[in-house]
Amino acid sequence: MSASIPLWLVPALPLAGFLVNGFLGKRLGKSFVSAVGVGAVGLATAAAYARLVPFFAGDHSAVVERIAPWFSAGGFSAEIAMRLDPLSALMTSFVTFVGFWIHVYSVGYMRHDETEAGYARYFAYLNLFMFAMLILVLAQNFVLMFVGWEGVGLCSYLLIGYYYERQYAADAGKKAFVVNRIGDFGFLLGMFGLFSLFSSLDFDRVFTAAAADPGKYAPYLTLVCLCLFLGAVGKSAQVPLFVWLPDAMAGPTPVSALIHAATMVTAGVYMVARCNVLFRLAPEAMAAVAVVGAVTAIFAGIIAVAQNDIKKVLAYSTVSQLGYMFLACGVGAYVAGMFHVLTHAFFKACLFLGSGSVIHAMGGEQDMRRMGGLRSKLPITYWTFLIATLAIAGIPPLAGFFSKDAILGSVFEHGQYVLWGLALFTAGLTAFYMFRLVSLTFEGSFRGTPEQEHHLHESPPSMTAPLVVLAILSFVGGWIGLPRVFGENLDRFTAFLSPILLPLASAAERAEPGLSHGAEWLLMGVSVAAAVAGLLLARSWYVRGQGRVPDRIAASFPAAYALLAEKFRVDELYGLLFVRPFDWLARMLWKVVDVLVIDGILNAGAFLVELVGDLLRFLQTGNVRNYALSLFLGLIALMLFVIGAV
Amino acid sequence: MIGSIPLGDVLLASGALFTIGLAGALLRRSAISIFLSTEVMMNAANLALIGYGSAMGSREGQIIVFFIIAIAAAEASVGLAIFVALFRHKETIDVNKINLLKW
Amino acid sequence: MERLVFDAAAALTILFAGLMVMHPHPVKSVLALVVSFFGLAVCYVMLSAPFIAAIQVIVYAGAILVLFLFVLMLLNVGEETRGRERPIQRWLSAAALLVFAGLLLGLLRAHGASAPLSFGPLSGDVAPLARLLFSRYLLPFEALSVLLLAALVGAFVLAQREKGA
Amino acid sequence: MSAVDWLILALRVLIPLGVILTVVPMLGWAERRGAGLIQDRPGPNRVGPYGLLQLPVDAVKFFFKEDVIPANSDKVLYVLAPGIAVFAALTTFAVIPYGASLPAAGRDIPLIGADLSIGVLYVFALTSLSVYGIVLAGWASNNKFSLMGGLRSSAQIISYELAMTTAAAGVILSSSSLRLPDIIWAQERLWLGFLPRWNVVPQFLGFVVFFVSAFAETNRVPFDLPEADAELVGGYHTEYSAMKFAMFMMAEYVNIVVACALTVTLYFGGWSLPGFHPEGIVGAIVSILIFSAKTLFFVLVFIWVRWTLPRFRYDQLMRIGWKALLPLALVNLLWVAALILVRWI
């Protein structure tokens, strides 16, 4: 297939936008910056779709475009090459699309509260993020992928700390960076391992070699995959490295939507799916992925129940949903995992943008206890938010239902009943806390100040338009992957991805339909029931009961509630376990090693020099004749030496 | 001219001259005297160079001496200018009294 | 004959060099040196280097030492005064000089050098010298001219009275 | 070398020496008569015809005057100084050819004291030594005026020697020899059939620089700063009297003669004349006469200048030496080099 538009153009356009806005933005004015920022991503989206539409419609075989050799050292070489295959096509499609709409949204959201310099900086970073994310997604080898990986991490750091004059935002950025470094370290180790095993970091060569001779590499791959998974855990905020994501909400809300919900955090899932060939050969690593995913899902879900900050709830929800995705990957259902990545991108972006709209209307207020009754004031926001909530809760026929059902079905199918139980409970939990959020925010009566009430207004079209678009996709997005029970050939999503994401060998060996139609219907019913149960409970407690029941529960179990409200005190635990010891260690290094040892050696050296100088300076008589004499004595010594030598 | 001057004579003269210059440089106190002594040493070297050059049938010795003399001229002019400047400040050119660089 | 003249001139040179070192008065020192260098010029003539001999007289006797005299007269430097100083410099210098002279003599004796100079190919003509100077040694020659210019400027700057002083 | 050779050598050297020593007192007379002529007054005219007997009278006077050596002067140097002055002046003449070769006693006797291959350099070497006489006289007298004279002299002679040597370098370049007879031979022919091939023609600038420098080298007006009687009483010879003073006078006149002889040799073809080919004894004698005539002419120019021009100030003297004569001499050297390059000479 001859490509009219080269792949490199897709990341290059946002890069150009970044360069223009980053270097000239300050002087160009907000309108120009918006045009460049949104235009660059819009063009990139258009370029991407110009490639993707024929790709989706026609031949699905992978295309690799080699752009330039990058560097070469010894036996190692890396090149700048881009890959278009179903997996990267899927990622590119929603990254560009969602990214574009979030850029549009940002124009409305950031317009009023920032200086021209800050505005330009914001769009520059956002464009840079798009560039890095697309590099990550389109890379043909691990090295280039790592560039994108680090690039998105950098942009995440920059954008979390966007309000850098506020201490908590700067701290949050730092925290995200440090925690991500741990994961990146794992990723690097994994890359080193891969290179030592395969002498290459090119996707094709690594995966072909691994698939060709599984027995040879399998023993080492467990460790390598665990290392790679550590990278995914960091980037995708899984237990135990999830702590940075809730704090990352310190950044502007569109950033939370784009980076910390829809795209960057799913990079870990993407990476695991990309390496499915390797993970498949390492069952222990797969098990770890599944367990971590399930634990994260339920752990974050529980925390979300007790949060009052609207963005924090969504953040924990994101962590929880990411756990779902890893759970799917862990049981080998990579397609289901990627399906959830896709639908999650739509509804979670929609939810974040909706929350942004609410915060915008409330003049920066994020505490749900001061909201309520916004339904009539923000109708578009309310309805789009409701649709996205139903989607995440897993109510059919919305997008979330299908992806979540696919995951649950796969888990059950693989006989992981404990994990299935956890996942099912999480599904109910999800519905509960999401409806708690909707109820507290939009239902009932307004609980904020009169000032805020007076200020309430629907957001401008630039913000509502993305909401509507994403809500529609949250509604219909799941229909590309209907389960088998609706008909044999309706699951186009699986068909599209299966050349890349083969089901587990063990599952493939088993009889083709793992579950009977009846069992599948039953499972579907159970998950829907769990969702509805959570939904109804939340409505009854928070809409009709005005929140009295939860208050009573909280009063009855103060310790448990406090624990929950304080997010299981994970941060404090980490503080105790890691931060304090490191702090102490650093202090020791400073006070003992640096001040006493190093400075001591230095000062001792200086003192010695001074001492010797003090003694030797008496040779410095200032009398030229003494110098001449010593010169002469040296000459005699030299002569004696020469004579002796001859 | 018929060569009948032994190289030893030349070298002896050169060595004696050098030693005398050296003695002057070490024992005199007046900066100008020391300077003169170094000139003597330089000329001792010149004599040896010419002697060796003649002994080897080469003119390069003379070339080197030519250069040395020119450099000596440059050196003398700058050196004497320094003495003049020094004398203006210290009112003496006795090197024992010029010891600003003492420890 | 040549040896006789050379030895006499060399003796004169050494004698007056010694006088120059001994004499406490710098002006007399300079004059002794003039004579000494004149003797040296004679030595050069005897070693068939008349050009160098002429240069020696013109540059050394005619320019450098006159400059010395000029400065001595300008500064009106008198006889060296016997300042207080530690005798170690004198004794050590004397000892070292003795050792040095002994070494030189020993070396001369050991390595003979009694062979007479062979004057065969060398004549006193200036032209071959000039040819050598302006061909193979052209670069040093030019460098030297730059050096002399630098010395001229340097001497001028050094001897200039400081402004406002 | 036979006894005849030795004899010839002695005569070669001693005869011109004697001539010069005879001529010099006559120059003293000529100067005073010249002064009278130029300043419209008689000059010496009482002793003998035209005052000619003034010479021996003066000589006797110099001999018999009291010879004063100042107290606190440096006796040795004080006595030595005039000797050095005369010695340096006289020895210079040794390398100047005063005539074509003389065929006598079966030999072709060159009429020159010593035919050195580095003749020109020898002249400059001795000229540079002549400064010692003056400097030492000034210093040894232990007199402020004398010292000033000595100081001036040393600085002046070194400065002008530069210009003088550089001007002479043009002649050396065009004759490609340092031997003075070679230089004369190089000027023997004619240019274009009528112009004498004298160096003064292509190197007039060089000649001017050389001749002006010669005034400074000999401490003559307008460059007689070392003795400037208006400022320094008598300059370096303030303290001198009797025979020692006479020796300084003699040195000055010998220097003038030598400077003129050198000028003639370098720029005016020495003893040669265009179209004159010295043959035999007569030719040799004629050549000597030609040389003497030329030299005498320039000596008279010296005298003429002395009584015509005022004295420069010391700073003017230095400025002329460094900023006018030296650059001009360099220009002359370049000019000669260019001429040689285009093969005009």
d(C-alpha A349, C-alpha A367), whole Å = 20
Q: What is the pLDDT of residue A507?
A: 47
d(C-alpha A429, C-alpha A530), whole Å = 8
Average pLDDT value for residue range A293-307: 90
* DSSP-derived 3-state class of residue D42: coil
Contact check, Cβ <8 Å, D118/C50: yes
d(C-alpha D55, C-alpha D40), whole Å = 22
Q: Is residue C55 part of a domain?
A: yes
Percent of chain A past pLDDT 90, that is, above it, reads: 34
Q: What is the pLDDT of residue A154?
A: 93
Q: Is residue C34 part of a domain?
A: yes
Residue with the bigger pLDDT between D130 and A159: it is A159
Question: Which residues of C are less than 8 Å from B85 in CB distance?
Answer: 158-159
Encode pLDDT of A530-562 as tens digits. Answer: 888 988 888 888 887 777 788 888 888 888 888
Q: D28-60: string of b/e by CB count within 10 Å (b at 16+)? A: bbbbbbbbbeeeeeebbeeeeeebeebbeebee
C138 — contact with chain B (CB < 8 Å)? Answer: no
Contact check, Cβ <8 Å, C14/B94: no
Encode pLDDT of A437-453 as tens digits. Answer: 998 888 888 888 888 88
Of A349-358, B87-96, C132-141, the least confident? B87-96
Give the end-to-end CA distance of chain A in Å, rounded to a whole number. Answer: 84
Regarding the domain delimited by B7-90, which CATH topology (the fold level of the hierarchy) does it fall under?
Answer: Helix Hairpins (1.10.287)
Question: Which residues of A are less than 8 Å from C93 in CB distance?
Answer: 629, 632
Q: What is the pLDDT of residue B26?
A: 83
**Is residue C7 domain-shared with residue C61, that is, in the same domain?**
yes
**Given B22, B98, B101, which is nearest A632 (Cβ)?**
B22
Q: What is the pLDDT of residue A551?
A: 82
d(C-alpha A347, C-alpha A350), whole Å = 5
- Amino acid present at A62: A
Among A251-265, B49-63, D77-91, D211-225, the range with the most confident prediction by mean pLDDT is A251-265
Question: In the structure, do chain B and chain A come into contact, i.e. share 3 or more CB pairs under 8 Å?
Answer: yes
Is the pLDDT confidence value at A383 over 70? yes
Q: What is the pLDDT of residue A468?
A: 92
Q: What is the pLDDT of residue A504?
A: 55
Phi, psi (rounded to 5 degrees) for B30: -80, 130
Average pLDDT value for residue range A277-288: 88
Interface of A with C (CB under 8 A): 623, 625-626, 629, 632-633, 635-636, 639-640, 643
Is the pLDDT confidence value at B43 over 60? yes
Contact check, Cβ <8 Å, C89/A633: no
H-helix segments, A557-598: 558-565, 570-574, 580-588
Look up tokens 């002679």; give the residue. Answer: D157
Encode pLDDT of A177-200 as tens digits. Answer: 999 999 999 999 999 999 998 888
Question: In the structure, do chain B and chain C come into contact, i.e. share 3 or more CB pairs under 8 Å?
Answer: yes
Average pLDDT value for residue range D299-310: 85
Q: What is the pLDDT of residue D88?
A: 84
Q: Is residue C101 part of a domain?
A: no
Give the end-to-end CA distance of chain D in Å, rounded to a whole number. Answer: 40
Average pLDDT value for residue range A49-70: 85
Is the pLDDT confidence value at A632 over 90? no
Give contacts of C 22-61 with B, CB under 8 A.
26, 29-30, 33, 36-37, 40, 43-44, 46-49, 51-52, 55-56, 59-60
Compute the nearest-CA separation of C163 from chain B (Å): 13
Which of A150, A182, A322 has the alpha carbon at shortest distance from A246? A322
Question: Which residues of C are less than 8 Å from A638 in CB distance?
Answer: none
Length of chain B: 103
Inter-residue contact A478 to A402 (CB < 8 Å): yes
Q: What is the pLDDT of residue B2?
A: 44
Domain coordinates in residue numbering, chain B: 7-90
Encode pLDDT of D219-232 as tens digits. Answer: 777 877 777 666 77
Q: Is residue C105 part of a domain?
A: no
Give the strand pairing for A76-84 and A63-73.
Answer: antiparallel
Q: Is residue C130 part of a domain?
A: yes
Which of A322, A280, A273, A270 has the alpha carbon at shortest distance from A297? A322
Q: What is the pLDDT of residue C115?
A: 59
Mean of the per-residue pLDDT values of chain A:
87
Mean of the per-residue pLDDT values of chain B:
82
Average pLDDT value for residue range A368-395: 89
Give contacts of A 598-617 with B, CB under 8 A.
617
Domain coordinates in residue numbering, chain D: 65-341
> Token pair of A20, please?
């223009």
d(C-alpha A277, C-alpha A218), whole Å = 11
d(C-alpha C139, C-alpha A391), whole Å = 90
Is the pLDDT confidence value at A631 over 50? yes
**Number of folded domains that form chain C:** 2
Task: Give me the domain span that covers residue C34.
Answer: 1-79
Is the pLDDT confidence value at D255 over 90? no
Q: What is the pLDDT of residue A325?
A: 92
Q: Is residue C89 part of a domain?
A: no
Q: What is the CATH number of the domain that holds C36?
A: 1.20.120.1200
Average pLDDT value for residue range D155-167: 86
Encode pLDDT of A96-134 as tens digits. Answer: 999 999 999 999 888 876 678 888 899 999 999 999 999
